[in-house]
Copies of this chain bind each other. A is one copy, B any other.
Amino acid sequence: MNEQTDFNTWQTIEAEVLRRIRTRTWKPGEPIPKETDLAQEFGCARTTVNRALRKLAQDGFLERKRRLGTRVALHPVGKTVLEVSIIRQEIEEKNGTYGYRLVQSKVAQPPNTVNFGLGLKDGARALNLQAVHLMDGLPYAIEDRWVCLDVADDLLTVDFSKHSANEWLLENVPYTKAQLAISSVQAGKLQQEYLNADAATPLLQLDRSTWNGDQPVTFVSLWYHSGYRLISQSSS
């Protein structure tokens, strides 16, 4: 008597499983049928069911364990993908004109916070670059970057006065691991000078460290203009 719906594609199956989770047909914490049973019910290959369930597990809706089977997650963790894009792209996507200005470039010993965060050897020196990103001529963000000297042989010969170090690094130095920390700070001297902010202005600070294997690559702190909001959407 049941109308035989077609579940031919893994997307269809994903949607149906998600519907059953949402409608509490399958309740949080409970096991759901095994792949072979679902394949039979949906009239498709197990591979197809597998693909759908794998995605749902990846998105945090299901928890899968060998031998134990698949369960509905108790607390679907809100995973949000932040795309830390290149600032030039970010500005151009807003139809703004991008500008870049190098403020400082020197080789020095990084502060301990940087050393510690990246795992640099004490006393090691690195290239320090400070730059301002502009949108339509107005300050958009400033960055304070430390680049390890051994990431590339020709690092010190590169002209960073025209192009952002970030873009050069992305195109020339690979990385395997990254960490992002977001915090809220008051404008310091540098920020006050280049972001037209006064000392009481709260700013968003992004600290990003990258490594290539175990090798530290770069550490950069970014401060955005006052009022900036970091936005990310997610849907399922």
Q: B-contacting residues of A (Cβ < 8 Å)?
A: 21-22, 28, 74-86, 89, 167, 170-171, 174, 176-186, 200, 202-205, 208, 212, 227-236
CB of B184 within 8 A of CB of A204, answer: yes
CB of B84 within 8 A of CB of A82, answer: no
CB of A174 within 8 A of CB of B22, answer: yes
Give chain B residues whose Cβ lies under 8 Å from the Cβ of A80. Answer: 81-84, 178, 180
In the bound complex, CA of A236 to CA of B176 (Å): 5
Tallying the copies of this chain within the complex gives: 2
User: What are 13 contact pairs spanning A and B, CB under 8 A?
Assistant: A22-B174, A75-B86, A78-B85, A81-B82, A82-B82, A176-B235, A178-B234, A179-B233, A181-B231, A182-B229, A182-B230, A183-B227, A183-B230
Given A75-B89, A78-B178, A176-B236, A229 and B183 touching (CB < 8 A)?
yes
CB of A232 within 8 A of CB of B82, answer: yes
Give chain B residues whose Cβ lies under 8 Å from the Cβ of A74. Answer: 171
In the bound complex, CA of A22 to CA of B175 (Å): 8
CB of A84 within 8 A of CB of B75, answer: no
Give chain B residues whose Cβ lies under 8 Å from the Cβ of A236. Answer: 176-177
Closest to A228 in B: B183
Closest to A28 in B: B171
In the bound complex, CA of A235 to CA of B210 (Å): 9
